[in-house]
């Protein structure tokens, strides 16, 4: 006991000194904290306050009382969402669209980067790069218009070609079976070039000595690809794959809203578009919050799990 | 390295170049096609068969597009948010990136995580919208700027770039009596122009292209940006409904242009600034994305 009582004041003194030291350090950096103040305020207000707003999923939202004072209703809206007769359809569409984007859209820029990497004529390479980056910078509104113009049954280029070959025109955007093809191809068209930049960067950092040495050993193009190129870009592929996995339930609502037509709704309605519709267009705020919350939670689980797996398998991780 | 190309390699080369050229064409042609349609007489275009060159060349579609006050106002909104918004975004992002680039800053990791976490978990669209409403932003032009001031990815790009600038520069400036703000403005900013150009492009394009905020968060017609109006015009089967009915009809009759031709002109007007600016910034953003991809 005696030793304890003797220790406490000493501890306190140390703590006080430590606190003083910390304060001193913080004071020394006060200008830098001032630089960060707008960002901290921003993330607090526009990032964290809406997180508190998810309590709305368990409340009956009333504009006059605000989120805080709106009455609790428990799982009423969660139940309503799970009981919604198209609940499974929404989940299925969300997964199918984002899964297709992942398995087709994810490798596409890697392949483009590998192809560009083989080009020895610099001017040609630069022109192709400049052109393929362009669609990334125009809005989905423009891309959707261009696509519907080309796919239109009336004077659309594709149907002109079909008719020239003596076939009937097709209303591509109006049929469910064409919808996914249009969504995936427009996604690739818009993003392939820009997404290839990171892989090109990874490719350019490979030591050319490795290729020379392997050529001397008699390795062909294919072998060099498998044993040198692919392993070298694997960490980059890993990180980007984790990032895409976290978006597995985010099918890209801008794009879908713009391409959606009444006849394709059964295959195109996803969690995000549904949440925009019931929330922003019909004003069912609490119900739409449930939809959004469901999506956020699944995304969070996906990113944490993928990150863990990636860490174990390949030693790459986001944090 | 002397290496005799085998037949296999030659075939590979031919296929590779052909496929890449094809991809280039598929990307480029649609923009060119819209350009032709926008420069052709509207009624003549109805006959079809326009693929590579305008048949009846005219600027009418562009002139008419700019005569509509609603469209002019929309461009005003877009230009305001793009200029003011981009400036604020870039300046504040650089400031935050500078502070976080200082490895000796206490709490640096915690603050970074505080920002990062909002990218993996969000409250969702509705709580965000209700927040905007209760801040009265939904009836103000600042709705386009304030809620979108920072992007985590851009802060990280800036931070990583600032970290490549040698510390000695800052130290000697401190000895000369410079404060942090002066060091930031006079040394770090000028030395990071390529990176500033990159995030200016990213934020600028984001502001210029955004249609969602205007379409779903704002109801006042005078606050709608060009991209939102464009989206409305394009999605409406009846063009006249999107703008003022009588005036549009009057314009169309007088100008010998069709709604479809006007749409194409509008599409081109909103696309051209980007097409003109981005190639000049290309080498910078390529570098920027590379830096962003390095885990810092």
- Cα-flanking dihedrals φ and ψ of residue B23, to 5°? -60, -45
What pTM was estimated for this model as a whole?
A: 0.87
Neighbours of A202 (CB within 10 A): 21
Residue of B nearest to A148 (CA): B234
Instruction: Please check whether residue A318 is in contact with residue A307, taking contact to mean a CB–CB distance below 8 angstroms.
Output: yes
**CB-based burial of residue B29 (10 Å sphere; 0-12 exposed, 13-18 middle, 19+ buried)?**
middle
Closest chain A C-alpha to B245 CA, distance in angstroms? 22
Which pLDDT belongs to residue B184?
92
Chain B within 8 Å of A150 (Cβ-Cβ)?
yes
- A157-164 vs A140-151: helix axis angle to the nearest 10? 20
Nearest CA in chain B to A239: B293
B247 to chain A nearest CA, in Å? 24
Q: Directed axis angle between helix A107-117 and helix A122-137, to 10°? A: 160
Q: Please judge whether A119 and B17 are an interchain contact, meaning their C-beta atoms are less than 8 angstroms apart.
A: yes
Mean model confidence pLDDT for chain B: 86
CA–CA dist B247, B251 (Å, integer): 6
Alpha helix positions (H), A104-153: 107-117, 122-137, 140-151
Convert the pLDDT of each residue in B131-149 to its tens digit: 999 999 999 999 999 999 9
Q: State the count of interchain CB pairs (< 8 A) between A and B.
A: 237
Going from the C-alpha of A7 to that of each of A16, A18, A201, A273, B273, the distances in angstroms are 14, 16, 58, 63, 71
pLDDT of residue B282: 87
User: According to the model, what pLDDT value does residue A7 have?
Assistant: 55
| Residue B6 per-residue DSSP state | P
Helix axes A285-314, A76-83, angle to 10 degrees: 70
Task: Find, in chain B, the residue whose alpha carbon is nearest to that of A288.
Answer: B126
**Does residue A63 sit in helix, strand or coil?**
coil
CA angle A189/A194/A195 to nearest 5° reads: 90
Q: What is the pLDDT of residue B82?
A: 96
pLDDT of residue A191: 93
Split at pLDDT 50, 70, 90, the class of A213 is confident
pLDDT of B250 over the 60 cut: no
> Is the pLDDT reported for residue A270 higher than 80?
yes
CA distances from B55 to A26, A292, A305, B42, B254 (A): 70, 50, 58, 11, 20
Q: Which residues numbered 196-255 in A keep a CB inside 8 Å of some CB on B?
A: 197-198, 201-202, 212, 215, 221, 236, 239, 246, 254
At A250, list the tokens: 């985010």
- Mean residue pLDDT across chain A: 86
Residue B246 clears pLDDT 60, i.e. is over it? no
Residue with token string 């919808």: A179
What pLDDT does residue A181 have?
92
- Looking at residue A1, its pLDDT comes to 45
What is the Cα–Cα distance from A287 to A81, expressed in whole angstroms? 7
Average pLDDT over residues A179-203: 92
Residue A149 with chain B: CB contacts under 8 Å:
30, 33-34
What are the tens digits of pLDDT across the range B75-130?
A: 999 999 999 999 999 999 999 999 999 988 989 999 999 999 998 888 889 999 99
Closest CA to A116 of A192, A207, A208, A212: A192
Bridge partners (DSSP) listed for residue A57: none
pLDDT band for A222, please (50, 70, 90 cuts): confident
For residue B240, what pLDDT band results from cuts at 50, 70 and 90? very low
ipTM for the whole complex: 0.87
A40 touches chain B (CB under 8 A): yes
Question: Which one of B8, B127, B235 has the shortest CB-CB distance to A50?
Answer: B127
| pLDDT at A118 > cutoff 50 | yes
Residues from chain A that touch B180, judged by Cβ atoms under 8 A, are 31-32, 35
Q: Considering chain B, what percentage of its residues have pLDDT values greater than 90?
A: 48
- Helix residue spans in B39-85 (DSSP H): 42-45, 60-67, 69-80
B211, B212, B218, B220: CA torsion to nearest 10: 30
């Amino acid at each position: 006991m005696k030793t304890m009582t003797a220790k406490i004041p000493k501890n306190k003194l140390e703590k006080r000194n430590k606190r003083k030291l910390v304060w001193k350090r913080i004071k020394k950096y006060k200008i830098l904290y001032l630089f960060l103040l707008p960002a901290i305020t921003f993330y607090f207000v526009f990032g964290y306050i809406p997180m508190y707003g998810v309590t709305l999923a368990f409340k009956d939202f009333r504009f006059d009382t605000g989120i805080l004072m709106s009455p609790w209703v428990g799982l009423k809206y969660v139940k309503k969402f799970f009981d919604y007769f198209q609940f499974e359809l929404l989940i299925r569409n969300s997964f199918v669209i984002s899964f297709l984007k992942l398995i087709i859209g994810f490798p596409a820029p890697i392949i483009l980067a590998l192809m560009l990497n083989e080009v020895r004529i610099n001017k040609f390479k630069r022109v192709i790069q400049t052109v393929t980056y362009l669609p990334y910078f125009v809005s989905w509104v423009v891309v959707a218009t261009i696509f519907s113009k080309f796919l239109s049954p009336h004077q659309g280029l594709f149907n002109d070609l079909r008719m020239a070959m003596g076939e009937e025109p097709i209303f591509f955007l109006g049929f469910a079976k064409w919808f996914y093809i249009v969504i995936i191809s427009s996604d690739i068209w818009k993003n392939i070039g820009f997404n290839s930049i990171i892989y090109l960067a990874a490719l350019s950092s490979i030591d050319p000595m490795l290729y020379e040495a392997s050529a001397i050993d008699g390795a062909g193009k294919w072998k060099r690809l498998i044993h040198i190129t692919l392993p070298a870009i694997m960490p980059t592929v890993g990180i980007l794959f984790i990032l895409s996995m976290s978006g597995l339930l985010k099918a890209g609502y801008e794009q879908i809203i713009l391409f959606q037509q009444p006849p394709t709704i059964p295959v195109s309605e996803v969690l995000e578009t549904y949440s925009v519709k019931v929330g922003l267009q019909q004003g069912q705020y609490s119900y739409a919050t449930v939809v959004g919350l469901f999506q956020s939670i699944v995304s969070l689980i996906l990113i944490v799990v993928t990150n863990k797996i990636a860490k174990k398998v390949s030693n790459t991780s986001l944090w | 390295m002397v290496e005799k190309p085998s037949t296999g390699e030659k075939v590979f080369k031919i296929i590779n170049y052909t496929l890449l050229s094809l991809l280039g064409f598929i990307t480029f042609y649609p923009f060119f096609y819209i350009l032709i349609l926008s420069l052709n007489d509207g009624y003549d275009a109805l006959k079809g068969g326009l693929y590579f060159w305008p048949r009846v060349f005219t600027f009418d579609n562009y002139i008419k597009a700019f005569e509509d006050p609603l469209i002019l106002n929309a461009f005003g909104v877009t230009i305001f948010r793009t200029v003011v918004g981009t400036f604020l975004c870039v300046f504040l992002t650089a400031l935050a990136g500078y502070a976080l680039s200082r490895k000796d800053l206490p709490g640096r990791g915690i603050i970074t995580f505080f920002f990062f976490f909002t990218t993996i978990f969000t409250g969702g669209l509705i709580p965000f919208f209700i927040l905007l409403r209760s801040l009265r932003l939904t009836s103000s032009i600042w709705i386009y700027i304030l809620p979108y001031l920072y992007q985590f990815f851009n802060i990280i790009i800036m931070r990583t770039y600032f970290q490549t600038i040698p510390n000695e520069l800052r130290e000697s400036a401190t000895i000369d009596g410079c404060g942090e703000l002066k060091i930031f403005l006079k040394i770090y900013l000028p030395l990071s122009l390529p990176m500033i150009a990159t995030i200016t492009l990213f934020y600028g394009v984001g502001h210029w292209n955004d249609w969602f905020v205007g379409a779903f968060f704002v109801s006042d017609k005078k606050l709608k940006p060009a991209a939102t109006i464009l989206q409305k015009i394009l999605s409406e089967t009846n063009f006249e409904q999107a703008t003022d009915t009588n005036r549009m009809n009057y314009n169309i009759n007088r100008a010998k242009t069709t709604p479809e031709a006007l749409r194409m002109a509008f599409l081109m007007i909103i696309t051209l600034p980007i097409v003109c600016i981005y190639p000049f910034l290309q080498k910078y953003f390529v570098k920027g994305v590379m830096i962003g991809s390095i885990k810092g």
